[in-house]
Structure 1
């Protein structure tokens, strides 16, 4: 077997792991880190442990990569998978009593740590492909570091093709050894072919992509790997290629395929024919697609982006980042000289790196795991990227609504019971509470379908389940997962009826219970319990339903598209949620009427089952209505002085970190209850809100230590050499620009350097004014201005303003706000 580049560094890596508890490894694609490093460490003294039975965990970001890595390493040892090397992932495990190296998916590590925080018997954890920065990898590293604080014999190795080394040093420690290895790569010719500017429909794009793929096959040798953002684009291009060149073997590679289909895509065609593999980002790293010498990159990726305010996740198609594009390009040079065809213009700028998933994901699962770990404040753990406060608050709010967390963000009895289910907390609540409806087997079947990778388009859930329950053997993946859940629940997978289907979904998605609205405008328009709007095509079977539960939405809060849902009756909704029988005051601000409009309602959130007139306006309801109106407007009525206070805080937050609060408009809208709510007791209108001293209220909300230092770090005025106290303008800081000090030039004679604030970290931008207070010069470098700009200003101005001093040496002159004394 050919030697791989990583092998030249294995001795150094083993030495580092023997002497240090944490090590970083940066190894380029093709270096061999995934399969060579774990085997090299397996017989090290620290890895064997005291009894010689220590186990090593290798974390892989994807199931297909975990299986392939385990199989390859087992083959290198001449053993079947499950002996020395095994793998473990959700719903599938091949480990035995002799297994010492377990390849696991990232979520499995979290469950192992939650079940055994000390990870008894595990002597080392290897985080592979960490540059992908998945939410589960970030959480796994944070929990592993916490476990390591009480287990100093536990080793951690973080490795990847590219790493933000500085950020990792921040959590692993500056003394962490760094081992670097080159990759094995053949030269790759890169060409650019931007798609045409014709109307960019999906089918038109597929036609242009097909022409590009066939052109690349004509120019290069070997098979082709095509990167596309999603399954829909893969299938459109597959149809186009099949129509143009039927003899070409076209294979798909994405997460919805079965293991056998994925393996078939990774292997060359047995008859030797050329093939084209159409893949999502699953093929970017971890796996090698044999025979590929050509990469065609569409330059896009599809990522889920969570919106804390709406509680929905939207799939966004984005331009790929430069690091990922380079990873994709490298796939063409794994097994010989290759060709990479990029379907965008060479001058097209790309972002350097992708955002960590923790910044754009639904954080309800993270909030659940933190509660299980016993963590209330997330900064008690070491994070490379701290969970965003807004998204974490949204996740915790959902878990409280589901009954999983209490007001202190600790697990309730239901939450502790849900810990046994290896699924999203929403679905865990459904599974745990299904017994109340005598429907645990149906819940297992439903969750397996919802989490399966073969639900496509707007399939009818009820019909889908009927078909699968009628012919379970035709849906083996679904059946295996449903049976596994049934075993956890202690039931047999025997479903007698689908009547409770809507109720089960409502247990998991109470915020997605939807009520049909605008009957006069036609069917298919719904109001969600969370307050957002959702739609179905007018001809959809559920478009006329009065109430339904949406299991999947596309994330557009202003009009989300419902992809899967089930009808639910009013009677069953009321039985499931007793609070729907209670009357509540409902108030909202009417822009048309210029006043609060109120009524009494009963229902679930924004879903109203019955309404009646409101006799009085409760203060708490008035407060909530006003806060909601301000949020919907998306801005607050700040005056000039208020904006100055916000600018001061923006400067300190940018310069000194998030110890200082977020007073950006989104940040303040998210925290209205905290800083504004307590001051609305006597307020009845938005005009009255505008008359409040909002800037002072913000200052009053500051904790005393910060309030005491505010004037020192970001003074409202600066003393200039003339003795004047000149006001600083902080509003530019709201756009991450420096504060402005507008001052007459004569008043700063003698100042050698531009003034600095915020512990000397930020320099003011000087607007030097003429005696008539007109701008003469804008500078952030006063020393440079005196040397280079002032002589020209002096020549021009001393004739225009002869009564004012214009000395040859401004540094030695006396600063003044006055004219020259008369002779």
Structure 2
């Protein structure tokens, strides 16, 4: 067996877990932590009487890790080493090491909070900070408070050690291990934003492959970008074997992408971030990194999830670079400018995900206050409140956030709470087999997204062999339900979806394809869609903004069926809302569900409380007013929360809109128009909600203006901090002479991004490392600019020159 760097650290890991219940392992890519550490712990005295669980973030990685470890023992998977994931299990009576996916760990903890028979849990690739890994660690720590013999080991290539020690305890041993990595040359090549990306990527890749031997791994943000580059390469270099690697592919296709070409041809593997960690693509000596990632971001205000393409963080970029040096000297080509700053770490999923599943698991665990658990990153209040509101609407939680009887029954289904609620209520609709088939379809990735659900389901029921994974998932649900998978009719399809997605029941407006959701938002279909003329439909998949979401999968719904499902539709209720068309509050009595109105009549009197709530609801729908002072305050708070911790309040638009009732509503007495709301001093009202100790330190930690060497005080722009970026100081270059390093805020923890300007206030350089700019790029800027601006100083040594905002003569 080949020696790996982790082997020199195995005694330290064993000793740490012999003396402590918890440990951290920081091991660089290629160290061998995933496969060597678990096997080495099997014979530890504390592990001999129980099983070990190795938590892997992805199904592909779980299968591969289990297979490799079983092979190294000369066994088959399911003997000493096995794996367990939803819908698939390879374990036996003698299995002592189980590789499990994250959702499986949560279910195991919920079904047996003491984890009897489990000696230890190993969290692999924890730096990915998935929601389920964060939840699994929080629950495991809670279980460990009762079971002091349970061992926990958190492993990662990159870890925020300080944050983890805050949860695990300062006495937790930390073991570092370098990776087995050959030298990797790093080159940068920024693309021209005005030209098509794929041709530029293809040219850059082929030039790099001409200079570097071996296969190439290209990491792109999504499948659409992979397909475009694949087409471009097919036309330019047909001799290359171009393969895809992403989560939509069948398992066998993913495995083929990991192995060298059997005929020895050069390969280009086009991958999403799935190739960033966990798996090794054999033969790769060149990595081309597009520098972007696509992440789903949940919006509590709208209840929608939007895919955002973001610049990759530095930790992920380093992980990707390391892939080029796993098996020999390599080259990493980064498709961005070298001076482009990157944030240190990615955003934990818990800060940007739909938290309805988390809220459900907390209720199952018996927790109503999440602060009772130890979190690396606590769940955001606004998103958790939105998740709980959905569970309450589904009938799974009561007003005190405890499980209802239907909620306890729904816990048996290994799926999203929405779909679990559908499966439970399908009994009453005499449609349980159909619900099993529908849930399996909704959980598919990719497929017939643009076709209506009825067509997609019919095609699978007619030809189940074409959709093997769907059939296996549907059969598994039917076995749990104790019914045969025999679907007699698709008629209840709309009712089933209406049970799972009540806020996505939609009513057609004045034009085909335009719909008002029960939640109040707008959604659209193309006019050619079969459902564009439907009076009512239910949308199972939406993406985009609340002001104009796009419907991907939907089915029609009859008005009489809506009333049968939701009897409150037949009751008259007063409703006030802001009318953009009329520019005023409109009051009426309506019958319907949320913003879906089946019948209406005038309302004679407008109650003050209803007026206030209508204004708040209009703001929630339209978003915060454009107020520069409020934006800057929010940016300052966001920066301090990100750098100094959760003592500082969340200042995202979603959080502020979710808490309007506490910080804005008390100031709305006598106001009936949105224009008057927008004229309020919103920044001051929000500032007044800060605790006095925080307010007293705000100007010190995040000053509105910074003094520069010229003596002037310039305004800092904190708006970028709302997107996780650095605050910006735009200042003439000459005013920074004598500054040896970039300024920092937030108690020195955050660098300010300098936009260095010419005398005409045009951008010359963007840098967060002023010292490096003075030593390198300044000479080029000086050569180019001193002839253009001869009246202004351009000294050879800017670090010793006198700063000035004036010309040389003045």
**The TM-score by the shorter chain falls in which range?**
0.7 to 0.9
Matched residue SS, 1:600: strand
In structure 1, the residue matched to 2:39 is 39
Distance 1:324 1:714 in 2: 32
Contact residue 632 and residue 718 of structure 2 kept, 8 A:
no
Q: Which stretches in structure 1 are left out of the alignment for 5+ residues? A: 716-730, 737-757, 762-823
Q: Say if 2:227 is the partner of 1:235.
A: yes
In structure 1, the residue matched to 2:537 is 548
Matched residue SS, 1:80: coil
Q: Say if 2:105 is the partner of 1:109.
A: yes
Contact residue 547 and residue 622 of structure 2 kept, 8 A:
no
Contact residue 687 and residue 695 of structure 2 kept, 8 A:
no
Distance 1:457 1:664 in 2: 31
Matched residue SS, 1:511: helix
Q: Say if 2:106 is the partner of 1:123.
A: no
Distance 1:541 1:299 in 2: 39
Equivalent position to 2:659, from 652, 660, 671 = 671
Distance 1:160 1:217 in 2: 31
Contact residue 220 and residue 271 of structure 2 kept, 8 A:
yes
Higher-Rg member (1/2)? 1
Contact residue 301 and residue 654 of structure 2 kept, 8 A:
no
Q: Which runs of 4+ in 1 moved over 3 A?
A: 196-200, 243-247, 589-595, 629-640, 642-669, 674-702, 709-715, 731-736
Distance 1:8 1:555, change over 3 A: same
Distance 1:732 1:635, change over 3 A: farther
Distance 2:668 2:603 in 1: 21
Distance 1:386 1:668 in 2: 17
Contact residue 664 and residue 734 of structure 1 kept, 8 A:
no
What are the superposed Cα offsets for residues 708-727 of structure 1, whole Å, 9 maximum, x if unpaired?
x8999999xxxxxxxxxxxx
Alpha-carbon offset, residue 330 of structure 1: 0.8
Distance 1:173 1:285 in 2: 27
Q: Say if 2:523 is the partner of 1:527.
A: no
Alpha-carbon offset, residue 732 of structure 1: 10
Q: Say if 2:605 is the partner of 1:609.
A: no
Q: Say if 2:303 is the partner of 1:311.
A: yes
TM-score, length basis structure 2? 0.81
Q: Say if 2:206 is the partner of 1:206.
A: no
More divergent stretch after superposition (549-558 vs 464-473): 549-558
Distance 1:652 1:86 in 2: 45
Alpha-carbon offset, residue 601 of structure 1: 1.2
Contact residue 301 and residue 620 of structure 2 kept, 8 A:
no
What are the superposed Cα offsets for residues 657-677 of structure 1, whole Å, 9 maximum, x if unpaired?
756766888655432334555
Q: Say if 2:9 is the partner of 1:9.
A: yes
Q: Say if 2:447 is the partner of 1:455.
A: yes
Alpha-carbon offset, residue 395 of structure 1: 0.9
Alpha-carbon offset, residue 689 of structure 1: 7.0
Contact residue 5 and residue 32 of structure 2 kept, 8 A:
yes
Alpha-carbon offset, residue 504 of structure 1: 1.1
Distance 1:645 1:268 in 2: 53
Distance 1:693 1:504 in 2: 47
Matched residue SS, 1:186: coil
Matched residue SS, 1:159: strand
In structure 2, the residue matched to 1:280 is 272
Distance 1:700 1:189, change over 3 A: closer
Q: Say if 2:434 is the partner of 1:445.
A: no
Contact residue 123 and residue 153 of structure 2 kept, 8 A:
yes
In structure 2, the residue matched to 1:473 is 465
What are the superposed Cα offsets for residues 396-454 of structure 1, whole Å, 9 maximum, x if unpaired?
11111111111111111111111011111111111111112111111111111111124
Distance 2:275 2:465 in 1: 30
Distance 1:2 1:112, change over 3 A: same
In structure 2, the residue matched to 1:503 is 495
Distance 1:46 1:639, change over 3 A: closer
Distance 2:191 2:485 in 1: 51
Contact residue 494 and residue 538 of structure 2 kept, 8 A:
yes
Distance 1:151 1:363, change over 3 A: same
Distance 1:61 1:19 in 2: 28
Equivalent position to 2:162, from 161, 166, 176 = 166
What are the superposed Cα offsets for residues 775-802 of structure 1, whole Å, 9 maximum, x if unpaired?
xxxxxxxxxxxxxxxxxxxxxxxxxxxx
Contact residue 213 and residue 285 of structure 2 kept, 8 A:
yes
Equivalent position to 1:558, from 547, 552, 555 = 547
In structure 2, the residue matched to 1:73 is 69
Distance 1:261 1:696 in 2: 57
What are the superposed Cα offsets for residues 480-538 of structure 1, whole Å, 9 maximum, x if unpaired?
1110011111111111111111111111111111111123xxx2111111111111112
Matched residue SS, 2:148: coil
Q: Say if 2:52 is the partner of 1:56.
A: yes
Distance 1:659 1:319, change over 3 A: closer
Distance 1:242 1:682, change over 3 A: closer
Distance 2:8 2:95 in 1: 27
Distance 2:486 2:469 in 1: 17
Contact residue 648 and residue 733 of structure 1 kept, 8 A:
no
In structure 1, the residue matched to 2:556 is 567
Match runs of 1:629-778 below 5 Å: 629-632=618-621, 634-635=623-624, 667-674=655-662, 677=665
Alpha-carbon offset, residue 678 of structure 1: 6.5
Equivalent position to 1:181, from 155, 177, 182 = 177
Match runs of 1:18-29 below 5 Å: 18-29=18-29
Matched residue SS, 2:428: helix
Alpha-carbon offset, residue 24 of structure 1: 0.5
Distance 1:366 1:354 in 2: 20
Equivalent position to 1:155, from 131, 151, 154 = 151
Alpha-carbon offset, residue 115 of structure 1: 0.5
Alpha-carbon offset, residue 271 of structure 1: 1.5
Figure out how many residues of one structure are paired with residues of the other and give that number.
Answer: 708
Matched residue SS, 1:276: strand
RMSD after superposition: 3.3
In structure 1, the residue matched to 2:396 is 404
TM-score, length basis structure 1? 0.80
Q: Say if 2:453 is the partner of 1:464.
A: no
Contact residue 650 and residue 733 of structure 1 kept, 8 A:
no
Alpha-carbon offset, residue 590 of structure 1: 4.5
Matched residue SS, 2:494: helix
Contact residue 651 and residue 733 of structure 1 kept, 8 A:
no
Distance 2:153 2:371 in 1: 22
More divergent stretch after superposition (674-683 vs 403-412): 674-683
Equivalent position to 1:215, from 204, 207, 210 = 207
